[in-house]
Chains A and B, each alone.
Chain A
């Protein structure tokens, strides 16, 4: 392909290589005259207690909350002198905490909590002890690891090299979707696993047995 071809698709595809309707909408939406846009007021709060935790990626989570004046009053919390306290938990215990003086706000949590269930508790500190007001729904976090089937070591080992080729081919596009570091890291991991398999069994990829248990046209 000619190097000059980089010209086409340039910004739209580079900014978001895979998302839907990028080009049509991006192009046309730019042309909407701003003076034609009406302002719509929306609520700044809903007068309901709520704490919500959402996943963003493997190392970023979004927490938002509203604690009503009624709840604050009921528990004697004065945000002029006290803070709300938020704690993130997984199955083993607390993994993150933060404090805030705002009854309606949000926070982006930075932390790697891969492959687990986490949730948030909102509360306040009293005599050094966390008092819970309410909790968020639990969320299942992401993973960025290969999860080898562990129930049959011989099978995955014998298939390891072959399987790694398939994984390699499956992830080639990641390098142009902005995940090259992750991709390279994964390749290094695969090479290590392949080497381990070969050292353990003394076989190379050319001697690998069929990958899948199932027969043809099963």
Chain B
């Protein structure tokens, strides 16, 4: 008997990064690592579940920038080369460890096969396009793919110009249509950030649900009476699903989360840093600095610098233990909640997709075992938000509290003394984009149309919340500040070309190639 419903939601996102001017650019490795460690391992586990006849349901966002990169021929060509180099390093490591470091020989073999299998899956199952995997399960109905803001713009801080928010949503819908050939039903609001009135724009774009942190519902007007254990409707009739803290904590918490188990792979120990420079230099940054290679031979072991060898088999067994534990806790949680509710409760567990695989290497295996556990016991059922709404279409109407899922729960991470300077420019650019769209609404000059479209791309890319976020974390502030300034600079350079009627064709072509996101874009979207 089904006692309750579990709604797992993954947020898959990376900012748009493309550098055609370089053969090897470190920022592009964000994507390559995420494909290798997160997206392909997840898709291969879903395929395995399907082959084994295990029923599962999963909701995942594929943000428009991520979808655009996964569909980009230049980047995917580079990804193939990346995999070939990883395999080449594996061959080298197998030989080296056999001779010099037998303690890690099995680890070298493990990674060699890991990269070989990844490449085989990419080439033969996905046919060179990761989106094919998502599309396959989306069409089957076992995966609900939802969208996000066009470039992950932090909507509550962009809504000074409401058109800017509307364009973030409308372009996202068009990107979803382009990549998945249908309209999305749901949206992962960038950073789960909500503001009063956003639901009208979501409703106008045919979106039926979104996800918020718990205090959006607990402090809603009026408070959501079932807490986060049933959805609510906003005044415009869009469903809001609240994050369950308990299940989040089991995976995220540094104190109690599963990824900290001593048998799991240690993230920091990597041969890119551990081995002799002359030996490893061809597989790290060509400019010299050491970087992660993905060949990590140690397990967490403990909280000291002493690390023991990683054993993938033992780690895999731990994912079964943790899947059982997670299932047990959800069952008990749902039993407890059922005492207070007149309907079957739901537990919504949203996570960053990149947690599963990149940071927690065994995360995809955990999900695989968890779905098997759920299928085996049949006391809780994994469903999508839409399936819950189909079963329970009548829900309380509340006005969610403005909020985000960032530190402190509001907008602090994306607006503080370190990154506030960004918003003056974003607001001005949005205002000017509207003005230029109106001024040139009837132009048929091909170059001006190209230029105006590129202006919109630069505006959207500047709006990405990732840069403001990384300024706050301070680990990547110089790079993030520069990325923001680059797009502001490009936008202003393009407006100057337009104002002086002196279009630098070479520069425009360069920007179109480098910041090539959304080939369907039409600046007139700012007029509608």
Contacts and interface: CB of A to CB of B under 8 A. Distances in A.
Q: Please say whether chains A and B are actual partners in one complex.
A: yes
Contact of B255 (A147, A159, A166, A176): A176
A27 B292 contact: yes
A214 B392 CA distance: 9
A192 interface: no
Contacts of A202: none
B219 A18 contact: no
A10 B254 contact: yes
Interface residues of A, number: 93
A115 B401 CA distance: 9
Nearest to A64: B424
B470 A29 contact: yes
A97 to B, nearest CB: 20
B65 to A, nearest CB: 11
A150 B301 CA distance: 54
Do most interface residues of chain B lie in helix, strand or loop, or is the interface mixed? loop
Given A54-B160, A143-B221, A32 B27 contact: yes
A137 B431 CA distance: 14
Contacts of B113: none
Contacts of B4: none
A207 interface: no
A217 B27 contact: no
Interface stretch (B9-17, B378-386, B503-511): B9-17
Interface in A20-42: 20-34, 36-42
A165 interface: yes
A186 to B, nearest CB: 8
A19 B191 contact: yes
B417 interface: yes
B343 A21 contact: no
Contacts of A216: 342-344
11 contacts: A18-B407, A23-B355, A24-B34, A25-B466, A37-B478, A145-B219, A163-B223, A167-B227, A169-B245, A170-B229, A216-B343
Given A7-B303, A170-B229, 13 more contacts: A4-B300, A13-B254, A25-B466, A28-B27, A40-B488, A42-B425, A52-B160, A55-B411, A140-B195, A169-B229, A210-B341, A210-B342, A216-B342
Interface of A: 1-2, 4-10, 12-34, 36-43, 46, 48, 50, 52, 54-58, 60, 62, 64, 66, 106, 108, 115, 137, 140-150, 159, 162-163, 165-167, 169-174, 176-179, 208, 210-212, 214-218
